[in-house]
Structure formats: structure tokens, C-alpha cells
Structure 1
Amino acid sequence: MGVVEAFRAAYGASPQTVWRAPGRVNLIGEHTDYNDGFVLPFAVPWGVTAALTPRTDGTIRLLSLQAPGEPVTMATREESEGWTRYVVGVLAMLGDRVEGADIAIDGDVPRGAGLSSSAALEVAVASALNDVHELGLTPMELALLSQKAENDFVGMPCGIMDQAASALGREGHALFLDCRSLGSRNIPLDLAAHGLSVLIIDTQVHHEHAGGEYAKRRAECESAARKLGVPALRDVTDLAGALDQLRGDERKRTMHVVTENHRVEALIGLLRAGQVTEIGALLNASHLSLRDQYEVSSPELDLAVEAAIRGGARGARMTGGGFGGSAIALVPDERLDDVRASVTAAYAERGFQEPRFLPATPAAGAHRLS
């Protein structure tokens, strides 16, 4: 049963609007977004679809095809829990501009793979509400609203990257985003023209870092910025001098953030020069920094990267918040089978759960289906 049919079955009428928003994979620029830095994600073909009709009585009724059963009905927004908090948080951020809604949700973003299913859910619902209430919010405003829902209502201190990629993504392009100014531009990413693919390697280790290690890293960065007298680590221009003033984890976090911003800019330079095959070294350097300086990798992610490179990938790195989830590998098309076989064999040898492989192509951002 599709989401529209599920909506009709649950609520007795067709939805007024249906919107789909994608998940994202980050090509490079990890843990830089909440440091006012640079990121380069792209939207993926998997996403979340929200069928919605507004209500005027303040009631919220939610149905998910991934959580079979009767719709969850809430008379107040404080009653939400679990996955419903991401949806209700969006309504809460809109305040008295919306009252209630009947909503049915369907999603095919692989959960726990670090592909931002939560951002896709938020942006799909925000876009649908924006549509039916004729609020006139821009895609970036919808992204900011969705981020605020996750920060303030769910309690996950994420940056703007995930929601921006979901709202502003463009087919065949990566999204370069300055997370301070919120200026963005689409960068052509025609991998097929160069005989390359981005292969997502889902470690099947599902991360849960809301409020935990993720928040700890963010606090370390903010503390380091205060000690250095800058608004954010993005503003560090003398890295050697900054590192002399810091110790321990704050020193490591600063080294990663500053060098990762440089890697984003360098990778964009290579793409613009048509040197797509040369970006692999930057992916490798990003992974080493995330592993050693930011300390958010895992044995499964490290093995995926190492085995992918042995199998013929031009470069690879973990992607997403870390502590599990997925890695990405830049692979010549003729070596895709070799890379899959290399990673699968390495996992079997270590006794890890068999990984899942997802070929990713840059997809469209949030859009109306009906």
C-alpha cells in the first residue's frame, strides 16, 4: 500500500498535498556545519514522503508505513515520543500558523546508515505544511525551521547541513553550503562522465549519538573557539598558532575542523577544473582526520575504507556523524564488483555483520508529488 492509499484508509479522504524530501550523503565537510564552516553534501534517491491534510481543531494524527498500526493521535504536542517528535517538532516551530494535521508518512531511507532520514522526515512535513497553508517559506527557511525542530524539540544539536541538502538538493549536483552565511550554490557532479560512482557502504552498525558523543564534540569545539577568541573554529586562520594555545581533545577537534574546511574548498576546485578522478586523496585525508583527530569513526568504518581502497577505490571515507553508519567510496565503474567483494571479505574475516552497498547518484531536493 502506498502512502496516499494508507492516508485514505486511515482518515477516510485523500490528502490535500503530498511532498517528498530526500536523505543526503556528504561528499566532504564533516562536523564543520555547526562550526560555521563549509560542507558539500548531495541529496540521495531515497527519502521520506508525507501525505498531509491540515486540521483546525489542534489535533495531530500520525501514521507511518514503517510503524504499522492505528494512527497516533495527540491532543497536545507534549504527547509526542519516538519518531513522532520529529514531525510534531516541525508543527511546534510553526506555532500558531498551523493548528493540527492528519499525516501519513512513508520512507525508504536506510535507517541508521547516516543518510539523514530524520532531516528528510522534517523537510517533507515542513514542505507539505508550507504548501497547504501557503506560508511562502523558501527552501532555506524550511531547512532552518526543520533544524530548529531537531535542535529545540527533539534535543539533537545538529547543524544545518542535513536539512539544507534535503531542501535545496539538485539532481546531478552537490550542494556547496557556507553554514554561516547560508549562501549556497550547486556544483555539477557528473561522475558517470568520468566512469566513476560513489558507492555507499552501510556498515549496518546503527549509530545513536543524539545528546551523547555528538553533543560532546560540539561542546569541545565551542570551548576551543572561546579560548582562541574567535566566534567559531571556521575563523581560525593561523592553525599552528591556534594549536599552540590548545591541549588535549580541543586541540584535536580544532585541527580537524580547520583542515576539513580547506579540504572542502580544495575538492570544489578539483571539480571545477574537471579533475574528478583526483578527489580521492581528499576523501582519504578526511577519513584519517575524522578517525584520529575527531575520533568519531569505528572499527567497521575503518575496515570499510581500508578494504574499499584495497579493492580499487580511488578514495574513501566515513560519512555522517560517525560511530557507525556508512562510508563512501569513489570507485571506477569497472572496479565496483572488486570493491564490494573486498569489503565483504574483510568483514567476514573480522566477524562483522555483512555490509550493504548502495550506489548513490545526486538526486532532487524536496518536491511536491501531487
Structure 2
Amino acid sequence: MQDGRQLTGWRIQDEGHVRGVQAQPRGDGHGRVASWPVVRLGYRPPATRKRGEVHTITAWSDAEGAARAADLFRATFEAEPDGVWAAPGRVNLIGEHVDYNGGLCLPLALPHATFAAVRRRDDDVVRLVSSLDPEAVWEDPVSSIAPGAVSSWAAYAAGPAWALREAGCAVGGFEAAIDSCVPLGAGLSSSAAIECAVALALDELFGCGYAARGDAGRAALASICVKAENEVAGAPTGGMDQATSLRGASGHALLLDCRDSTTRLLPFDLAAAGLELLVIDTRAAHALGDGQYGRRRAACEAAAARLGVQTLREVTDLDAALTALADDWERRCVRHVVTEIERVKAVARLLDADRPDAIGALLDASHDSLRDDYAVSCPELDAAVDAARAAGALGARMTGGGFGGSAIALIRAGDEAAVARGVQAAFDARGWTRPAFLSAVPGPGARRVR
């Protein structure tokens, strides 16, 4: 694999090599120890359609996604999968960097999903293939999957097997072929979509029984996927992404209380209100495993300890908290988290009152806080937000972990082309790669599709 090699909708960015991971090119039949690149996932739109000069990322239907994953499975493993499971990406309407602080967030599942064709094996061997590199098969015994033992994209697909085994489910060997239309590196939870699709498949094939218990079981399965991402993939994320992928619902946003994992579905029918939610993929590299995310989480945890609370969700007097903290960086982190939680509450009240048209100012305030206090924005995100606002958006902000990725803009129905052109013009003026766009309509959570 070559650094930056363009594949089927994916880009690999080499970050060094480790030994001890077994790789097997398709058709070889003999596993061998290989020097395998430690990678983060970059992004090239997997499916774009031109609207004039504007690129729109289209979602696959369940039938199309299932066919793609099943075809890859057959071509690689020369057998039929036991089934195909899908899990969506997500976009967060508001409530950024509060999930690991016990806060509230308001995401929605996207129609864009990852599809996993999976077959249970009779031994303990795990074999994985992806459109990331369809000519290479990752292979190892399931007992060898552990924190620090799996590199590359395979950590997201293999991690759930380890986490399910840690939870007491007797997961054995399996084969999985992964394909996806979730934009990678765009802050839309492409990694969680892989984890949740594979976890749902293994849950069914090995009789773990989580999904059969309804929403409570899906909540537990989401926690298992978080453990997989934190410990096997090494990304210190909170639980919002996995909860949305497994528990989201068509036509609704998911009000998630990250303190106790309870949820409430809020109607989110923007079309009925004459509105749209436009996602702007800046195509600026986005990675959560590079230390920046962890630095902020550590600052929040340190501030909470100094304030004598378990999480920053428990801070009730912001002014007193800021006065008690001497470190300016910790003060900024606390200010963002506490005010962001209040913004989530305000947006939820407006949605309950059927006033989605009134949430724009809160989206704007969220972005300003993420940019100025939490310092997770970047020039591309700021330019996208500023240009969307100038083109008539009712509100706009970055979404996801930041440091690249995507922004969202609340716009009037019919304004998509004008706003997209305005954002694209801003990028053209700076000589940047043109952004891609998608419409965020709430889709279903993870499910079996074949």
C-alpha cells in the first residue's frame, strides 16, 4: 500500500509501520507476518454527483449497499455471507465535545451507512476485507485481537469482537467484507458506523442477545462499541457516535443524555418547516487519534477534579467555576462545555415547540464557542461557516470532533445550491480543494438489510 494511494472512496495516510499484524492478499491462502502501516483514514468522496459545479455525496439504498458488500465478500472469500448489516453515520445538530463530560447532545442518524457482509466461521480465525484496499485481507485469530494489537482500519472492524468477548459473549472466528458511503475523515462517524455494523452482525451470529433486548440492549451494545474504539482503535471518544448509529430513527433527532445513556426522540421534519440541513464536507483531514482530542478530554477531566465534581455536567455556577480555576486553558474548556450543554437544552425546547426555524442563533453560538474557547475549528471550517452565513443560512457551525471534517448549515428549502456555491467560491478563492455537500435527513439506525 502506498501513502496517499487513491482507492474506492478511501485514502490511506501512512503514519509509520508496526510488525506482527498478519496480512494476506486475496487468493494467497498462506498467512504471513507483514509490516502493516498504522494509518488514519483520509477522505475522498465515495459517491459524488455533480450539480453544475457542486459535488453532492449521495447515500446508497439498503439494496445497493447490501449488494456492494456481498459482492466484495464473494469475490474475496469465494462464499456467501450469512447476512449483511448496515449502520449509519451521524451528524450532530448541537452538543459538541460534551459526551465525555456527561452532557447532552442532539445528533441524528444519516441515510449514509456502512454495510458489513459477515459469515460465521467454525474456527477462531477472523478475516476482514474492505473497499479501503480490496486486494488485501487482514487475518488473525480472534484471541489475538486486543488493545495495541490491531492497526489500520481493521481496528474498527475487529475491535467489537474483542469488546464482545470482554463482555462475556463467546465470539469466534468470522469473515467480514466492508463497504461504505459514509464520508471518511469528515467528522460524520465513519469509524462508529464500521463498529456498529460489525457488532450488530456478531451479536446476532454468535447469539450475544443484545439487540434482541430492544433499546436497552442497543444501548449496551453501543457501550461495547465505545470500548472497542477507545481501547482497540485508540481513539478516546465519548459515546454519542455509537449511540446514534445504533439507536437513531428516521425522522427524528436523538436527545442523548451521556450521563446515563437515556435518550428521547425529537421530531425533526425540516421539510415540513420549509427548511433543510446542509452538511458541508470541507475535505480537510480529520483524525481523532492524533492527541488533540485526548488533550481536551484530559483538560476537562482535570478541571472537573479541581472543581470537586465527577463530570463538568455537574457544574451549576459557571462564574464560580471559572473563578476557581487558575489555568486559562481549563477555564476555556469548562466555559465551552457548560454553555454548550445549555444550548442543547435550548434547541431541544425549540424542537419540542415545533420551532426549528429558531435554532439558527444557537448553532452560530456553538460554532463560536468551539472556535474561540475549545479551539477545535480550523480555517476550512471557519470559512465554510462564514460563507454559509453570508449566503443566507439561518445558522451554521462545525460538527463532529473538529480539526477538519464537516460543518452544517440550517437553510431555507431551495437555497441549497446558492449556499453551496457560496461556500465553494470561498474555498476557490483560497485555493483549497473544493468541498462536497450532502443533505442531512434523519435515517434509520443500525439494522440487518439482507
TM category (shorter chain) comes to over 0.9
**Match of 1:136?**
209
- State the Cα deviation string for residues 136-177 of structure 1 (Å, max 9, x = none): 111111111100001111111100000000000100100000
**Match of 2:411?**
331
Query: 5+ unaligned residues in a row in structure 2: which ranges?
Result: 1-66, 211-216
How much does 1:65 deviate?
2.4
Larger RCO of the pair (alpha carbons < 8 Å, separation 6+):
1
Please give the alpha-carbon distance, in whole angstroms, between the structure 1 residues aligned to 2:432 and 2:81: 44
**Match of 2:177?**
104
Query: Residues 199 and 221 of structure 2 are in contact (CA less than 8 Å); yes or no, is this contact kept in structure 1?
Result: yes
Is 1:10 paired with 2:55? no
How much does 1:66 deviate?
3.0
Point out the more displaced range, 282-291 or 356-365.
356-365
Please give the alpha-carbon distance, in whole angstroms, between the structure 1 residues aligned to 2:75 and 2:207: 26
Query: Residues 89 and 189 of structure 2 are in contact (CA less than 8 Å); yes or no, is this contact kept in structure 1?
Result: yes
Query: Residues 127 and 137 of structure 2 are in contact (CA less than 8 Å); yes or no, is this contact kept in structure 1?
Result: yes
How much does 1:2 deviate?
1.8
Distance 1:300 1:70, change over 3 A: closer
**Match of 1:298?**
378
Query: Residues 37 and 178 of structure 1 are in contact (CA less than 8 Å); yes or no, is this contact kept in structure 2?
Result: yes
Please give the alpha-carbon distance, in whole angstroms, between the structure 1 residues aligned to 2:282 and 2:92: 16
AA partner of residue 230 (structure 1): V
Moved over 3 A (4+): none
3-state SS of the aligned residue for 1:362?
Answer: coil
Point out the more displaced range, 206-215 or 78-87.
78-87
**How many residues are matched?**
370
AA partner of residue 4 (structure 1): A
Is 1:26 paired with 2:99? no
3-state SS of the aligned residue for 2:204?
Answer: helix
AA partner of residue 312 (structure 1): G
> In the alignment, which of 142, 154, 162 is matched to residue 92 of structure 1?
162
**Match of 1:261?**
341
**Percent identity of paired positions between Structure 1 and Structure 2:** 50
**Match of 1:316?**
396
How much does 1:209 deviate?
2.6
For normalisation by structure 2, the TM-score amounts to: 0.81
AA partner of residue 81 (structure 1): S
- State the Cα deviation string for residues 300-342 of structure 1 (Å, max 9, x = none): 1011111101101000000000010000000001322221121
Query: Residues 66 and 107 of structure 1 are in contact (CA less than 8 Å); yes or no, is this contact kept in structure 2?
Result: no
Please give the alpha-carbon distance, in whole angstroms, between the structure 2 residues aligned to 1:70 and 1:259: 46
**Match of 1:80?**
150
Query: Residues 17 and 132 of structure 1 are in contact (CA less than 8 Å); yes or no, is this contact kept in structure 2?
Result: no
How much does 1:211 deviate?
4.5
Is 1:118 paired with 2:191? yes
How much does 1:349 deviate?
1.4
Please give the alpha-carbon distance, in whole angstroms, between the structure 2 residues aligned to 1:181 and 1:362: 23
Is 1:185 paired with 2:253? no
Query: Residues 377 and 402 of structure 2 are in contact (CA less than 8 Å); yes or no, is this contact kept in structure 1?
Result: yes
Query: Residues 150 and 232 of structure 2 are in contact (CA less than 8 Å); yes or no, is this contact kept in structure 1?
Result: no
Query: Residues 85 and 116 of structure 2 are in contact (CA less than 8 Å); yes or no, is this contact kept in structure 1?
Result: yes
Please give the alpha-carbon distance, in whole angstroms, between the structure 2 residues aligned to 1:311 and 1:284: 14
Please give the alpha-carbon distance, in whole angstroms, between the structure 1 residues aligned to 2:87 and 2:290: 25
More helix by share: 1
Please give the alpha-carbon distance, in whole angstroms, between the structure 2 residues aligned to 1:108 and 1:248: 41
CA-based RMSD: 1.2
Where do 1:149-160 residues align within 5 Å?
149-160=228-239
Please give the alpha-carbon distance, in whole angstroms, between the structure 1 residues aligned to 2:431 and 2:72: 40
Please give the alpha-carbon distance, in whole angstroms, between the structure 1 residues aligned to 2:71 and 2:439: 29
3-state SS of the aligned residue for 1:68?
Answer: coil
For normalisation by structure 1, the TM-score amounts to: 0.98
